[in-house]
Amino acid sequence: MTIRRPESDGSDTGRDARRDTARRRRPSRYDFSTVRMTFRSGDERCVGRLYRPDQPSDPALVVLAGGPIGASGVGLDRYAERLAAAGYAVFHFDERYTGDSDGEPRNLVSPPRQRADWEAALSGLRGRSDVATDRTVLWGVDLAGGTVLDVAADDPRIRAVVSQTPILSGRAFLRDRGLGFLARGVLSGIRDVLQSRLFGFHSIPVADDGGGGRRGLSLVSTPSAHRGYRDVAGDDWDGRLPARSLLALARHVGDPDRERLARPVLFVGGTRDDVVPIESIEEASEEIADATLVRLPSGHFDLYDGTGFEQAVGHGLAFLDAAVEE
């Protein structure tokens, strides 16, 4: 098993100097075209956008989704633009209950349904003649960072996987808050299921507001969370999710077939991440034969902008270049 864990020092991480300009600047709309696409997953409609570069004529395909748990569907447009400007076709879609996709209640977290969304997206993309679906890479962030491992483990047509700040087990994610939190979360989820039949959904905050005093039940309660979510999702985001999401997360442990993945996998994590600890990502990387772990000196929300974004996308492009070579 070969595992590389480079600690980035902020230097250029690109492998191909001819793409440096495309990688480091915000892309011009002349570098690629975009088209809105929809597909069905279960009974709902999912919405995405296909970014297609002007060159080459048969670009490899990156399927991209995820984002901060409880606020998925935001924060990844810049990744899609940068990858497209570097010559990759990118399908960036919103999972059900988030963004422009259908589904009620909004912001529902359901790992099984979100996995089905990825599989439906791939089914809809295959058969297109304008992208090289035989060279498909999955790029998932946060909870989707675990989902892409599960999807690729069952789909030998996937060329490689990028798993960025992955939440690999919803149960472990909740249990890290303590058994008391897990018990309260389960009770709150049950309340939501029962109450919604008569009075409407019972929701909880995604992130603690940091206001001090006795903390209520929230999905994430770390020093960076409240400001980080607002910076990524914007002030118009309502910041709440249905409490039944905690029941779905408590049942989620990931697919055991992940360990048998035989495709290249790039794990990206931050050494200052207080939402998804780097130790959990390192442990996962050691269980997959062809895995690379990139440890960035950043916090969880730093990878959406600034230096953290530049480092993450730079390492990702270097990995993609190697993974799709024929």
The residue among 116, 112, 172, 114 whose CA lies nearest residue 141 is 114
What pLDDT shows up at residue 286?
A: 95
Cβ(233)–Cβ(129) under 8 Å?
no
Cβ(206)–Cβ(71) under 8 Å?
yes
Tell me which H or E stretch contains 51.
Answer: strand 44-53
d(CA 292, CA 286): 9
d(CA 67, CA 233): 10
Tens-digit pLDDT profile for residues 270-294: 999 999 999 999 999 999 999 999 9
The amino acid present at 70, given as its one-letter code, is G
Tens-digit pLDDT profile for residues 227-285: 999 999 998 888 999 999 999 999 999 999 898 999 999 999 999 999 999 999 999 99
N-terminal to C-terminal alpha carbon distance within the chain: 23
Check pLDDT > 50 for residue 22. no
d(CA 282, CA 245): 26
Check pLDDT > 70 for residue 29. no
The residue among 6, 70, 5, 100 whose CA lies nearest residue 225 is 70
Structure token digits, residue 61: 């395909």
Please state the domain extents for the chain.
Answer: 17-169+252-323
d(CA 160, CA 321): 11
Q: What percent of the chain has pLDDT over 90?
A: 76
Q: What is the mean pLDDT of the chain?
A: 89
What pLDDT shows up at residue 215?
A: 58
What pLDDT shows up at residue 93?
A: 98
d(CA 260, CA 288): 7
In which region does residue 4 sit, left (phi positive, over 0), alpha (psi from -120 to 50) or beta (all else)? Answer: beta
What pLDDT shows up at residue 229?
A: 94
Among all chains, which residue has been given the structure tokens 């993945």?
Answer: 261
Angle between helices 244-251 and 179-195 (to 10 degrees): 130
The DSSP bridge partners found for residue 207 are 220
Query: CA geometry: angle at 258 spanning 256 and 259, to 5°?
Result: 90
d(CA 284, CA 212): 34
Arithmetic mean of pLDDT, 291-302: 97
CATH architecture of 17-169+252-323: 3-Layer(aba) Sandwich (3.40)
d(CA 292, CA 264): 8
d(CA 246, CA 240): 12
Tens-digit pLDDT profile for residues 148-189: 999 999 999 999 999 999 999 999 999 999 999 999 999 999
d(CA 240, CA 94): 17
Tens-digit pLDDT profile for residues 75-123: 999 999 999 999 999 999 999 999 999 999 999 999 999 999 999 999 9
